[in-house]
Amino acid sequence: MSKPMTVVLGVIGSDCHSVGNTILNVFFTEQGFKVVNLGVMVSQEEYIAAAIETGAEAILVSSLYGHGEIDCAGLREKCIEQGLDDIILYVGGNLVVGKTDYSLVEEKFKKMGYNRVFSPEFPLEDMAELLRQDIRKRRQERENKD
């Protein structure tokens, strides 16, 4: 049996929309991931502390309440500072404020260092599959490095 895929999950900033978080927790657990769920109102430091201690391979950030851009900036840099250089960062939720074009939003968050950016409509099964692929790829790259 291969090592379980550990992911850290939480809603960033002062955001307390908890429904989506609960759904994602149940969903990823059912999909066979080991989920470390930090719940709502999660600071960048909390994600990182959890990712280090649990040896997580990805951090899944949610932002629903419209302040995602401010809350999410700088997480990649903090990860690098703490030795989590190649951790996979996903972000999803209501990242668009108003009627902004989604591709612009995606570009913005990718610039911030997020590997993938999801709209609320993106099918969860497809997303889980992408996550598995990304984690396998990361493991491969790490092995090649050694």
Contact footprint for other proteins (CB under 8 A): 3-4, 6, 14, 16, 34, 36, 39-41, 43, 46, 49-50, 52-56
Structure tokens belonging to residue 144: 């090649």
Whether 134 is a known active-site residue: answer no
Chain residues that interact with ligand B12, rule: CB under 6 A: 14-20, 23-24, 60, 62, 64-66, 90-94, 97, 118, 120, 127
Q: Which one of other proteins, ligand B12, none interacts with residue 18, CB within 5 to 8 A by kind?
A: ligand B12
CB of residue 48 to other proteins, shortest distance in Å: 8
Q: Which one of other proteins, ligand B12, none interacts with residue 7, CB within 5 to 8 A by kind?
A: none
Helix (H) or strand (E) run with residue 8 in it = strand 6-11
Is residue 134 within 8 A of residue 88, CB to CB? The reply is yes
Determine the Cα–Cα distance for residues 61 and 24; give it in Å rounded to an integer. Answer: 11
Structure tokens belonging to residue 114: 């997020």
Helices (H), 31-101: 44-54, 68-72, 75-81
Q: Which of 17, 71, 126, 134 is an active site residue?
A: 17
Is residue 105 within 8 A of residue 53, CB to CB? The reply is no
Nearer to ligand B12, 41 or 52 (CB): 41
Nearer to ligand B12, 65 or 78 (CB): 65
Whether 67 is a known active-site residue: answer no
Determine the Cα–Cα distance for residues 73 and 26; give it in Å rounded to an integer. Answer: 27
Question: What amino acid positions are annotated as catalytic residues?
Answer: 15, 17
